[in-house]
Amino acid sequence: MSLMLKQSLELQSIKNIVALLPYQYHQELTSVLMNHFVQEIRLRPNQSIEVVLAGESFFLRNTLFNEADATFVLNQLSQHSIYAFEEELRHGFLTLRGGHRVGIAGEAVVEKGVVKTIKHIRTFNIRISRALEKVSVPYLQGLYEGRWKTSIIAGPPQSGKTTILRDLAKIMSNGYERLNIPPQKVAIVDERSEIAASFEGTPQHDVGKRTDVLDRCPKAEGMMMLIRSMSPNVIIVDEVGSEADIRAIEEAASAGVAVLCSAHAKSMNDLEARGIISSDTFEGILLLNDKKEGHFVHKKRGKL
Amino acid sequence: MRWIGAIILLVGMTAIGFEWARRLSQRSKQIRELTTALQHFEAEVMYGHTPLIHVANRISSTVSSPLSQFFKDFGTRLKEGNHDVQSAWQESIAINWDKTAMKIKEKEALLQFGQTLGQHGRYEQQKYIQLTLTHLRAEEINAREEQLRYERMAKSLGFLGGLLAIIVMI
């Protein structure tokens, strides 16, 4: 945590975030962002603006977020062009320059049981992102033994899976001399745009010098595309779960490419029940808990 | 002295006739350019997913004046950030309309188009573009007919009108 608190936001980053909101909130928000470790800014119709810090939250006094404000925010987010962000609206979030993400909610338009888009968007959750350094170092000895092992990073939401994946990407592609880990070519399939948080194709987080990112691509297809196009040594994917994903990972592994992926899971049993670790491809599992602590389990040696 | 006045009158009336003819041909030319611009727009929306500001700037560099100025103004207003799309669009039209040779119907079609801009998904946006294009094409046919019918007449009418005025006055 002490490591996180040191990371303050850059001024430019603050400006970008504040510019999303109507002018009358600029001054107050800027000072809040500069003086607190803000994790989220939440905007809800006819409510005050809520600022969420680590473990606590408060409302900005004398603010009332109305419908006109919501329209303003949406226009700023979409650069006045809803048509350009249809896909993002359907998924319920947009990525900003700087890697921050804005979750949205409103009225879903459903057609044949599938969410087509969201209209009357009134609720926003601006999630401030900060890159954390070296969070994966404690687990490197498990994940790397002369080569990167195909492994799963599992844990509940908010346990730091994506943060660890992002840090691993950087360590893999830059190398880590202290443990004699040489730099390698890394490819990321970033379906939810969460690992590298690309904005118009450019990663907004530092994911390393030798890293190629395929943004917003479905995982199974993306892995195959990257193997063919980028000849990576390691592939990183987020939130695998479907059978097609597992099959693609198996295929990648048989092509000699190590795959590191994350999965939502509370426990080992959870992973087993979903058939993820029954696959022989995985060599290890890094299990995280909601306090962001983890331990590494070797699959072939350790008994599961 | 009298002859000098007569010549000035003749030249003036001829010039007016030519200007009228030029406006007739400019109108159909500008409508054509506008249709091309909207098709460009459509491509940017459908395949490029390009935000409005970029679309406006791109189009402004491909069309000629005064339309280029219109798209440029529109882009600048959006970038400044204190306009919504509709008011930026309306203002840009208001400033630049007098410089064009187009008529009220084209203006109406464009203003209506501005109301839909950026508020919809891709396919809806495409429908509005198509609708505007249909309007404009109909107007273009009108404009071309008018041009065929009146362009030469306008030129000779100016000259002949000048002559007539001179005869009457002398």
For residue range B47-58, list pLDDT tens digits in order: 888 889 999 999
Tell me which of A127, A159, A179 is where a domain ends: A127
pLDDT value, residue A134: 83
A22 and A122 in a single domain? The answer is yes
Nearest CA in chain B to A200: B50
Q: Do A81 and B120 touch (CB under 8 A)?
A: no
Conformation bin of residue A205: beta by default, left when phi > 0, alpha when psi is -120 to 50: beta
A98 and A15 in a single domain? The answer is yes
CA distance B76 to B71: 9
Q: Do B53 and A79 touch (CB under 8 A)?
A: yes
Taking residue B134's Cβ as centre, other Cβ atoms within 10 Å add up to 12
Q: Which residues of chain B does A84 touch, with a Cβ-Cβ cutoff of 8 Å?
A: 45, 49-51
- The CATH number of residue A171's host domain is 3.40.50.300
pLDDT value, residue A243: 84
A291 and A144 in a single domain? The answer is yes
A223 and A143 in a single domain? The answer is yes
Between A6 and B20, whose confidence is greater? B20
Nearest CA in chain B to A68: B84
- The CATH number of residue A24's host domain is 3.30.450.90
pLDDT value, residue A304: 47
Burial of B84 (0-12, 13-18, 19+ CB in 10 A): middle
Task: Tell me which of A15-19, A298-302, B59-63, B114-118 is least confident.
Answer: A298-302
What average pLDDT does range B89-100 have in this prediction? 91
Local confidence band at B37 (pLDDT 50, 70, 90 cut-offs): very high
Residue A162 counted as domain residue: yes
Whether the CB of A201 is below 8 Å from some CB of chain B: the reply is no
pLDDT value, residue A160: 83
Total domains in chain A come to: 2
A60 and A209 in a single domain? The answer is no
What average pLDDT does range B141-151 have in this prediction? 90
Tell me which of A107, A127, A147 is where a domain ends: A127
Nearest CA in chain A to B119: A82
pLDDT value, residue A8: 59
Residue B36 counted as domain residue: yes
Whether the CB of B78 is below 8 Å from some CB of chain A: the reply is yes
**Chain B interface test: which of A73, A77, A83 (most B C-beta within 10 Å):** A83
ipTM: 0.71
Residue A4 counted as domain residue: no
Whether the CB of A47 is below 8 Å from some CB of chain B: the reply is no
The DSSP letter of residue A203 is -
Residue A2 counted as domain residue: no
Nearest CB neighbour to B121, from listed A19, A79, A117 = A117
One-letter amino acid identity for B123? Answer: Y
Total domains in chain B come to: 1
A152 and A81 in a single domain? The answer is no
pLDDT value, residue A292: 75
CA distance B19 to B25: 10
CA distance B125 to chain A (A): 7
Q: Are A285 and A152 in contact (CB under 8 A)?
A: yes
Nearest CB neighbour to B52, from listed A71, A79, A86 = A79
Taking residue A32's Cβ as centre, other Cβ atoms within 10 Å add up to 19
Phi, psi of A299 (to 5 degrees): -80, -45
**Chain A interface test: which of B57, B120, B123 (most A C-beta within 10 Å):** B120
| Predicted confidence pLDDT, tens digits, chain A (304 residues) | 334 444 557 788 888 899 899 988 999 999 998 888 888 999 999 999 999 987 788 998 888 999 889 988 988 888 888 888 888 888 888 888 878 889 999 888 888 888 888 888 899 999 888 777 788 888 998 899 888 999 999 988 778 888 899 999 999 999 998 888 999 999 999 988 888 988 888 998 889 999 999 998 899 999 999 999 999 999 999 888 888 888 889 888 888 899 999 988 877 788 777 777 666 788 888 888 877 778 888 776 444 4
A144 and A256 in a single domain? The answer is yes
Residue B49 counted as domain residue: yes
Whether the CB of A86 is below 8 Å from some CB of chain B: the reply is yes
- Nearest in space to A203 (alpha carbons), one of A214, A219, A217: A214
Top-ranked range on mean pLDDT: pick from A88-92, B77-81, B155-159: B155-159
Residue A303 counted as domain residue: no
Q: Do B118 and A82 touch (CB under 8 A)?
A: yes
pLDDT value, residue B42: 93
Phi, psi of B48 (to 5 degrees): -90, -20
Residue B96 counted as domain residue: yes
CA distance A219 to A252: 12
The DSSP letter of residue B46 is I
Q: Do B81 and A76 touch (CB under 8 A)?
A: yes
A149 and A249 in a single domain? The answer is yes
Tell me which of A94, A109, A127 is where a domain ends: A127
Nearest CB neighbour to B51, from listed A71, A80, A86 = A80
Nearest CB neighbour to A83, from listed B53, B78, B122 = B122
A145 and A294 in a single domain? The answer is yes
Q: Are B151 and B24 in contact (CB under 8 A)?
A: yes
A118 and A155 in a single domain? The answer is no
pLDDT value, residue A300: 60
Residue B164 counted as domain residue: no
The DSSP letter of residue A160 is S
CA distance A289 to B1: 103
Q: Which residues of chain B does A79 touch, with a Cβ-Cβ cutoff of 8 Å?
A: 51-53, 78
Q: A235 lies in which domain range?
A: 137-298
Residue A5 counted as domain residue: no
CA distance B123 to chain A (A): 8
Whether the CB of A39 is below 8 Å from some CB of chain B: the reply is no
- Nearest in space to A65 (alpha carbons), one of A107, A111, A28, A116: A28
Q: Which residues of chain B does A106 touch, with a Cβ-Cβ cutoff of 8 Å?
A: none
A277 and A147 in a single domain? The answer is yes
- Give the angle B20-B23-B29 at the CA atoms, nearest 5°: 150
CA distance A104 to A19: 17
Residue A37 counted as domain residue: yes
Nearest CB neighbour to A81, from listed B52, B81, B124 = B52
Nearest CA in chain B to A87: B121
Residue A79 counted as domain residue: yes
Q: B47 lies in which domain range?
A: 32-150
CB contacts < 8 A, A to B, total 47
Mode of pairing for the β-strands spanning A211-215 and A186-190: parallel
Whether the CB of A117 is below 8 Å from some CB of chain B: the reply is yes
Tokens at A61, concatenated: 């006094």
CA distance A62 to chain B (A): 23
The DSSP letter of residue B44 is I
pLDDT value, residue B136: 93
A145 and A259 in a single domain? The answer is yes
CA distance A78 to chain B (A): 8
Q: Do A83 and B84 touch (CB under 8 A)?
A: no
Whether the CB of B121 is below 8 Å from some CB of chain A: the reply is yes
Q: Are B117 and B23 in contact (CB under 8 A)?
A: no
